[in-house]
Structure 1
Amino acid sequence: MQHENASQVGELSSIKIESRQSSIRSIKQTRMSILDSVIFCSLLCVLGGVSTASQGAINTNLGKYTGQGLSSTIVFCVGAVASCIYFLIEIRGRPPANLTLMVSKAPWWSWTGGILGATFVIITILAIPKLGAGTTSAIIISAKLLFSCVIDHFGLFGVQKRKYTVHRGLATIGLIGCVAIISQF
């Protein structure tokens, strides 16, 4: 009798574990399905655009009080804390067992993102007082879009190739025109 009860308890606990694993999988699948949505990702991009436009002006203002170098340092320290919080949420407090192996397989150039981010922040802190937020953003966004088309065309950094078409060329000309107008008026 005790043996039957023990096996029933074992079955119930395995059902609970399987149920919990199933619900975790469904949460992950739901999260993935949201990120698969073009509309949701487009809204994230709008939020990213608003964030980067605001970031330059905010960082420049901080630089008035702390100096430009310290402003950049503060920005990255706060950003590092925010990134760590996001990382802990993403992994739910348990890093993957093969994290060291995963990190060691990353190509050398994938480690340069922080340097490029610092370059962006420092450039905006230096340029906005001279050019204004609109002109600085227009030039940066145009350069970003043009180089992104180069990245797409050649499939750089592991990105899927997308041809630089005539339509993209026409958009490039329009983009340069927009920068000229924004910087003049």
Structure 2
Amino acid sequence: MSLLDNIIFAAFICIVGGIATAAQGAVNAKLGQFTGQGLSSTVVFIVGAMTSCIYFLIEVKGRPAPDLMDNMKLAPWWAWTGGVLGAVFVIITILALPKLGAGTTTAIIVCTQLVFSCIIDNFEFFNIPFRQFSLWRGLATIGLIGCVGVIAKF
């Protein structure tokens, strides 16, 4: 049994991820003040790439699977766009956070992530299993948008 099979642990690392995401915008925006926004984004991805490579080597115990290249060829074209999407996210936070603040920037991003995630579930985009956009999800969406408004205003 993997540690990730434990629901408590999975929820805990999601909390850590939320903290990291909220802090990342502020950290990146601060670096952007000293280096410029474009270089800040570049530095973020170089350091992130190095960190990801270390994790990859730990995950595969230093020996990638022999069929890794064949498996990579099977991935759909859109599966390779994650780096671009990540760069868009980082650049947007670097640009928006100094103007909107950490709370408002993060609230807008998280709200948008949740709404679009529900759309992904409902329409099975990216081969994600179907989960209907129900009345409850609709009400929660309205609540999320309301929360963003309150955080932005106050």
Give the TM bin, normalised by the shorter chain.
over 0.9
Partner of 1:43: 12
CA distance in 2, matches of 1:48, 1:158: 24
CA distance in 1, matches of 2:135, 2:65: 45
Residues 74-113 of structure 1: pairs in structure 2 closer than 5 A: 74-113=43-82
Q: RCO higher in 1 or 2 (8 Å CA, sep ≥ 6)?
A: 2
CA distance in 2, matches of 1:158, 1:37: 24
Instruction: Please report the TM-score for the alignment, with normalisation by the length of structure 2.
Output: 0.98
Following TM superposition, where does structure 1 have runs of at least 4 consecutive aligned residues deviating by more than 6 angstroms?
A: none
Q: Which segments of 5 or more consecutive residues in structure 2 lack a partner in the other structure? A: none
Partner of 2:118: 149
Q: 1:156 offset after TM fit, Å? A: 1.1
- Superposed CA offset, 1:88-129 (max 9, x none): 000001110101100000000000000000000000000001
CA distance in 1, matches of 2:126, 2:12: 24
Q: 1:154 offset after TM fit, Å? A: 1.2
Q: CA RMSD in A?
A: 0.7
Larger Rg: 1
Q: Which segments of 5 or more consecutive residues in structure 1 lack a partner in the other structure? A: 1-29
CA distance in 1, matches of 2:92, 2:24: 12
Partner of 1:134: 103
Aligned length: 154
SS at match of 2:62: coil
CA distance in 1, matches of 2:127, 2:23: 29
SS at match of 2:139: helix
Q: 1:161 offset after TM fit, Å? A: 1.0
Partner of 1:22: none
CA distance in 1, matches of 2:20, 2:37: 20
SS at match of 1:77: helix
